[in-house]
Structure 1
Amino acid sequence: MKKKWLATLGLVSLLSGAFFTGCSTSDETNGEKLKDEPVEITLAGWGASPEESELLKEVLADFEAKHPNIKVKHEVIADQYMDVIKTRLIGGEGPDVFYLDAFEAPALIETGVLEPLDKYVTEDFDVEDFEKPLLEAFQKDGKTYGFPKDYSTLALFYNKKMLEEAGVDIPKTWDELIEVSKKLTKDSDVYGFGVAPELARLYFIAESTGGKVVKDNKANFASPEVVSALQPIIDQHLKDKTSARPQDVGANWGGEMFGQGKAAMVIEGNWAIPYLENTFPNLEYGTAEVPTINGKKGTMAFTVAYVMNAASEKKEAAWELISYLTGKEGMEKWTSKGFALPTRKSVAEKLGYDKDELRAALVAGAPYATVWSNGTNLPIIVNNFNNQFISAFLGEQSLEDALKSAQEQANKEINN
């Protein structure tokens, strides 16, 4: 989440130039080339676990078996993924198909380097099958620039033994979570709640009382509505002393804190499930939907799409790959091991994730989730929010002062 954003006006111009330069080959020519000659297309993405890499290798092999005239060259960009992608796009050497995080999507769509995919879609592709908020993250002005390959929402992870020993029920509301945390906290050995004090995790909470974190593509998180919505996060840590960050107990992230028994409850994503199974196999835990705030359900969603380079000279083949990977068959295999959740509702149902003991709460959150994406300036906004919010979380200044300072700085950078 802490990525440096380099999409300046100059970059937009360069990317747009690369786009127009690379559009000389017609779709008709691409189509004939696809039918008559072997075609090699490039798929670029970031690194993954060995298990995920092997699974993707199998999915791509299946695709090639069904499309014998298309070969896929898979490139893994291990570091500075978006910087590398942008540099290659500028230089006219961008991959035909590549991963795009929803967080990065608005700014890249703005440059014109992404191919709108609507004209390639056939009726049997079933666009309506995608979870709506996840698909909308890659749409603008009625056009679709990517189809989400997988996602995760956030859910409440709770230690069954700790809740049972404390004689408390799984909290259904945020007020209940605050009260339950008091009974679960044991001095500094165990905290009732493990919290991640960053905007990526707090965005939906910040907007739970009607405020807007981003307004007109500028920071708006110093508004009274947002401040009041986030104040309970500060109070639970400083006043109740029933919540802590992972680093406060020597852990690197919430899943580790939870697995070590340093927090009775955390809010994490699907990625925590395989981690806990492998690292803490004896841990007895459950998941539930994130407690409601003011009677409303809320959670975050993090998603990644396959997108097409508008300058690709192999668009028809590129679409064949995208449509297979995000189609029902390809997506089913890709998400079959549970490393990520399928963005298609039918695939989630077929794999049983909507009824899975641990994943059902995550799937249930998809229709109402707030996707981690909002406008071209969100990277600037989040950096300034996080820098100042943590000082309020640690008691160095009031939340109101911290967010006011962060908002002023963010909008100054945006205006410049």
Structure 2
Amino acid sequence: MSKFLGLAIAVVIVLIGYHSLQLPSNSSAPTTVTIKLSGWGGSPIEQKLLRQVLQDFEAQHPTIKVKYEAIPDQYMDVIKTRLVGEAAPDVFYLDALDAPFLMSQNVLEPLDAYITPEFDLADFENTLLDNFKYQNHIYGFPKDYSTLALFYNKKAFAAAGLSSPPTTWNELRTYSQQLTGKINRYGFGEIVELARQAYKIKAFGGQIIDEKDYATFASPAGLQGLQLVVDQYQKDRSSAQKSDVGTNSGSEMFGQGKVAMVIEGNWAIPFLTDTFPEIDFATAEVPTINDKKGTMVFVVAYVMSKQTQHKAEAWELISYLTGKEGMQKWTGTGFALPTRKSVAKNLGYDRDPLRSPLVAGVDYATPLQVGKYQAAIVNNFDNQFVSALLGQQPLKQAMLRAQQAANQQIKAMQ
């Protein structure tokens, strides 16, 4: 009996020793952290590409998992609600238009302290990065962008005896008259939103807002640029809105052959190539207005929520997605344009026949950024400008009404 008891005690001691030896290795096992990333719902091609890039990130960072969520509707309303309710994603998309308000609300993590020399801050295009700076801090790094360029139907141009694209707005109006009623119903497709008109306001020295974020787009200088649009639509009758021809976008107007020219962004290239492969088109820089080059630039950044409990891991994700390797993977198919100069050079988009006019525009483009009260500015402009375009009221009256209404709303929010 004593021999059996001794053997049992020995076995127990061995087992205890074995588990004691195993314990340190279990306690030192790396912990996996899950980062939540939110963005708006894009095309299936965009979603598939993003998931591929995220898989590459996870392969290189085995202790970080990314839970990606696409928010299909009311994106910024959802994000703002979650920020207030302390349920925000760790990392999320932020459009330049919405950036001034969120940067001013102390809900985003300043990223300056995370930047290392290897991240190569100077590699970003300044005109893009500047949209995400506030009070001497950087709150986001731009993931991609697009300017606007002139898309024109080569077959329609040949039929009208036109051999090259217009280089000035006066030429564009002349071309538009010559092209109207030929192969296409209209010469030019016009998008009336402020997002497509702001650079015309600035062409004569006008401004969208002043230093206090109040609307100033109804100034005499601003009205000069907008009058070009109204005259072409009402007097020349050579331009059309998307609603005039039963389409949903400028790209669709152009692809369906309703217009011979349209001003669109990089997103139109894969759309037209895939949806309307029979269209033979080319691109050019937006024609000058008042002897000044102009276009718009739309840019989106990755930002970090200030409330995230995983700041180091969130930065690892941002630095990869906006770093040279991640950005090259994201923009390598031509779906989006890179915000890093070195990546753009590697991909050769400045030499691409269709994309080079878009790349050229980044140096002189007007960002779609209109202060902290963007909804008041954009909504009032859009509502009144389309009314003026349709001849329901004079342009000056419409814009003064829009400016006054916007400023009343802004004053109430301050």
Say whether the fold is shared (TM-score over 0.5). yes
Is the 8 Å Cα contact of residues 387 and 398 (structure 2) preserved in structure 1?
Answer: yes
Distance 1:74 1:198 in 2: 31
Structure 1 residues 35 and 166: CA distance shift in structure 2, 3 A: farther
Q: Does 1:230 align with 2:226?
A: yes
Letter in 2 for 1:219: A
Query: Aligned match of 2:327 in 331, 337, 342?
Result: 331
Given the alignment of the two structures, is residue 207 of structure 1 paired with residue 202 of structure 2, yes or no? yes
TM norm structure 1 = 0.90
| Mapping for residues 8-407 of structure 1, pairs under 5 Å | 36-168=30-162, 169-186=164-181, 190-215=185-210, 216-407=212-403
Partners of 1:85 and 1:218 lie apart in 2 by: 25
* Letter paired with 1:319: W
Contact 1:132 1:367 survives alignment (8 Å): no
The alpha-carbon deviation at position 189 of structure 1 amounts to 5.3
The aligned amino acid for 2:202 is E
| 2:410 equivalent to 1:414 | yes
Greater Rg over alpha carbons, structure:
2
Shift of 1:37: 2.5
Q: Work out the CA distance in 1 between the residues paired with 2:77 and 2:240.
A: 34
Pair 188,351 (structure 1): closer, same or farther in 2 beyond 3 Å: closer
What amino acid does structure 1 have at the position aligned with 2:86?
G
1:126-155, CA deviations, whole angstroms, 9 ceiling, x for partnerless residues?
Answer: 111111111111101221000010111100
| 1:300-334 superposed Cα distances (whole Å, 9 cap, x missing partner) | 01111000011111100000000000001000001
From the superposition, tell whether residues 78 and 275 of structure 1 become closer, same or farther in structure 2 (CA, over 3 Å): same
- The one-letter amino acid paired with 2:124 is F
Whole-Å Cα distance in 1 between the matches of residues 182 and 159 of structure 2? 16
The farther-off stretch of 36-45 and 330-339 is: 36-45
Q: How many residues align?
A: 383
- Tell me, in whole angstroms, the C-alpha distance in 1 between the residues paired with 2:105 and 2:71: 22
What residue number does 1:22 align with? none
Q: Is the 8 A contact 2:38 2:92 kept in 1?
A: yes
- Deviation of 1:188 (Å): 11
Deviations along 1:95-131, whole A, 9 cap, x unmatched?
A: 1101111111100111100000011001111111111
* TM-score of the aligned structures, taking structure 2 as reference length: 0.90
Offset from partner CA, 1:242-267 (integer Å, 9 cap, x none): 11111111111111111111111000
Tell me, yes or no, if the aligned pair for 1:181 and 1:192 is still in contact at 8 Å.
yes
SS of equivalent to 2:188? strand
Counterpart Cα distance in 1 of 2:228 and 2:74: 35
SS at match of 1:354: helix
Q: Deviations over 1:54-99 (max 9, x none)?
A: 1111111111111111111111212211111111111111111011
- Could you list the runs of 5+ residues in structure 2 that have no partner in the other structure? 1-27
| Structure 1 segments unaligned to the other structure (5+ residues) | 1-33
Q: Deviations over 1:350-372 (max 9, x none)?
A: 11211111111111111211111
Cα deviation for residue 187 of structure 1 reads 7.5
* Contact 1:39–1:317 (8 Å) recurs in 2: yes
Q: Does the CA-based 8 Å contact 2:107-2:307 persist in structure 1?
A: yes
Instruction: Name the aligned partner's letter for residue 240 of structure 2.
Output: A
Contact 1:163 1:184 in 2 (8 A): yes
1:406 counterpart SS class: helix
Contact kept in structure 2, 1:258 and 1:264, CA below 8 Å: yes
1-structure distance, mates of 2:402, 2:283: 34
Q: Compute the displacement of 1:374 (Å).
A: 2.3
Describe the SS at the equivalent of 2:350: coil
